[in-house]
């Protein structure tokens, strides 16, 4: 963390110094993904929220990383992340 480091108190005659260590908290999901049902040919948006703003999330299907395309649109604002899937087919389930 940028606040970690050595801090000194100086009275003009003497100094005392201490080290501050700031531990980073793990990023957790404050709002998990929810199961959804949608119709073939339609569009669905999956959304979740993480505990820290501006943490980049990665979207995956069956372990494979999804890339932005005409089919997959990813949006992230602050701690909220969204995946929109267009033109749904049975293979998208």
pLDDT at residue 75 in the model: 96
Choose which CATH entry (3.40.50.850, 2.60.40.10, 3.40.50.2000, 3.40.50.300) describes domain 29-85.
2.60.40.10
Position 50 pLDDT exceeds 80: yes
Position 92 pLDDT exceeds 90: yes
Average pLDDT over residues 8-16: 96
pTM attached to this predicted model: 0.76
pLDDT at residue 2 in the model: 86
User: Helix %, strand %, coil % for the chain, to 5?
Assistant: 5, 40, 55
Contact 32, 81 (CB under 8 A): no
pLDDT at residue 24 in the model: 87
Which tokens go with 39?
A: 């119709």
Q: What are the structural domain ranges in the chain?
A: 29-85
């Amino acid at each position: 963390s940028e606040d970690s480091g050595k801090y000194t108190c100086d009275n003009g005659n003497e100094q005392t110094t201490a080290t501050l260590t700031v531990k980073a908290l793990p990023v957790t999901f404050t709002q998990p993904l929810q199961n959804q049902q949608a119709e073939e040919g339609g569009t669905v948006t999956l959304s979740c929220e993480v505990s820290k703003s501006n943490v980049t999330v990665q979207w995956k299907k069956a372990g494979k990383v999804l890339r932005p395309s005409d089919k997959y649109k990813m949006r992230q604002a602050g701690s909220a992340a969204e995946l929109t899937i267009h033109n749904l087919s049975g293979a998208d389930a």
